[in-house]
Amino acid sequence: MKGFVDDIEALTEENTDFRRVLYTGAKLQLVLMALQPGEEIGEEVHEDRDQFFRVEKGKGEIVIDGVTTRIKSDIAMIVPAGARHNVRNTGDKALRLYTLYAPPEHLDGTVHATKADADASDEHFDGKTTE
């Protein structure tokens, strides 16, 4: 089959990895994320790519260019290229979300079980797609 078809809500809610790349196209990438209580993605800027987030479970906050907004289940967020941003889990349970990078950010198939694994990694998208 070409493309990706699956129950994104179930996959996101069941994910326990900090970062798990599900699908990489030439111009878009789907990634699951789970942030533990008190954990954050870490402040970052993607100069050349837009990013979409959707929360499936949990609560937290997103900061985009210094503006903090509370987030919870069913909230969607878009971070335009060049915006400084961060997502934090402010709840007492895992914050489970997925993100779309356009274009891709990570190597296809990347799995970082923990934030420490992600921080220790220097991987970046190399042009190789899922199919």
104: cis peptide before it, omega within 30°?
no
Mind listing the pLDDT tens digit for each residue in 71-105? Answer: 999 999 999 999 999 999 999 999 999 999 999 99
**What DSSP letter does each residue of 4-55 carry, written as one string?**
--S-HHHHHHH--SSEEEEEE-SS-EEEEEEE-TT-B---EE-TT-EEEEEE
Domain 18-120: CATH superfamily is Jelly Rolls (2.60.120.10)
Q: Are 28 and 102 in contact (CB under 8 A)?
A: yes
Mind listing the pLDDT tens digit for each residue in 38-59? Answer: 999 999 999 999 999 999 999 9
Residue with tokens 């954050």: 40
Q: Report domain extents, the chain.
A: 18-120
Whether the model clears a pTM of 0.85, i.e. scores above it, the answer is yes
Mind listing the pLDDT tens digit for each residue in 60-78? Answer: 999 999 999 999 999 999 9
Average of per-residue pLDDT values in the chain? 97
